[in-house]
Amino acid sequence: MSTSEPKTTKVRGIPRRDFLGAAAAIGLSATGWSKLAGGVEGVGAEVARQEDLFVINMLGGLFNPNPRTGGFGGAGFDARSIADAIDSGMRAVNVTVGFVSGPQEPFESTMSAITSWTRRVGSHPDALVRVWNASDIERAREERKVGIIFGFQNAAMMGDDVSRVRRFADLGVRIVQLTYNGANQLGHGSMVPENGGLTPFGHEVVEALEAADVLVDLSHSGEQTCLDALRAATRPTAITHTGCRALSDMPRNKTDEELRLVADTGGIVGIYFVPFLDPDYMAVATDVVRHVEHAIDVCGEDHVGIGTDAGTTQVDDMDAFRATTARDVVRRMAAGIGVTEELPGVVPMIPDMQGPGQFRQLAGMLMDRGHSAERVEKVMGLNALRVMREVWRG
């Protein structure tokens, strides 16, 4: 698919062979076909009504973003956010349970967070499933629940002790990101101008993560650290949440070389739903589609997924949310953990692709542009499930 069209271009029609295949895949009868014959957007609308959409969010969360419930990014979640997650079709999500940045001691704060998250997930057995392996995700799908994958967005909690990798794996951590935006003892993050590579200790940690059947995540890493880790990898890797730098030249997005090497490991690239997808920092839903399509062009359809870096509950009051976000951006910049493209007043989401319908919206948009139902299913969740089956051997 071409990714060169501007975001204002109207979606193209589905070729007859793909239309028929898509219609069959979503269970349309001959009568249903006649209802959709008037235009391609009907297929997308029909996808949006399906109850059996299967989504694995490679990085996201369960939280209510509305300020009266605690604001954006809060670790807690409420009945609404759980219900929205279930209704969205998301059957598994990688949530951040460990130290990311700040003055806390990384190891101790991470151990405390794992305990808290274990208790939190266990208190909702009717809605949540703790994910240890791929079969737990399949169970969540069958029971219409949400599988909670424990993941890290920084490996600083390893200290200088590589044996902690196994300790965290035994506690159920299934995905580990090597760095956040800054530098740590493993390598450089995306905001470190020196762009140094993976350190000797970083190489040890990558080897230990693979041995412990933990998925190596290269989101937020600097380009050289990412490339070094990919070349050292012997098993599938992931960039759980990113965009394509060829379309939007920002530090948090990945180059085609990085994307291609992830695919070469047998891994997966998750496209996020954040403003970094647009060079002017004003990303909309069509930008998500453009980045998914570019990633498919570079990696192949078997190596692309989604990692929204967001939740599934709609913002009720966007003005209030912008104010909350502006304060958070100032705080992050003062702490030295933000990126240069974070601007006060710009919300960390795609405003026209949010809430529990966001995944059905994306699936419909992709099908409206001619992507087959089989390809869309891969991107929404089956590719991630395949990688997890291969990496989580236990």
Query: What residues are paired with 373 via a beta bridge?
Result: none
Residue predicted with more confidence, 259 or 317: 259
d(CA 179, CA 7): 32
Query: What residues are paired with 239 via a beta bridge?
Result: 269
**What's the pLDDT at 74?**
44
Q: What is the mean pLDDT of residues 125-144?
A: 98
**What's the pLDDT at 266?**
98
d(CA 89, CA 50): 9
**What's the pLDDT at 6?**
35
**Domain 16-22+52-391 - what CATH class?**
alpha beta
How confident is the model over 275-324, as pLDDT tens digits?
Answer: 999 988 889 999 999 999 999 999 999 999 999 999 999 998 888 777 77
In this structure, which amino acid lies at residue 390? Answer: E
In this structure, which amino acid lies at residue 135? Answer: S
**What's the pLDDT at 13?**
29
Task: Give the three-class secondary structure for 271.
Answer: strand
Worst-scoring range by mean pLDDT, 18-27, 71-80, 125-134, 155-164?
18-27
SS3 annotation, 332-379: HHHHCCCCCCCCCCCCCCCCCCCCCCHHHHHHHHHHHCCCCHHHHHHH
Q: Is the pLDDT of residue 183 over 80?
A: yes
d(CA 299, CA 316): 37
**What's the pLDDT at 347?**
75
Q: How far is CA 289 from CA 3, 143, 263, 278, 376, in A?
A: 9, 30, 19, 12, 11
d(CA 56, CA 329): 28
Domain ranges of the chain: 16-22+52-391
For the record, the structure tokens of 322 come out as 């912008």
**What's the pLDDT at 2?**
39
Worst-scoring range by mean pLDDT, 22-26, 59-63, 66-70?
22-26
Band (209; pLDDT cuts 50, 70, 90): very high
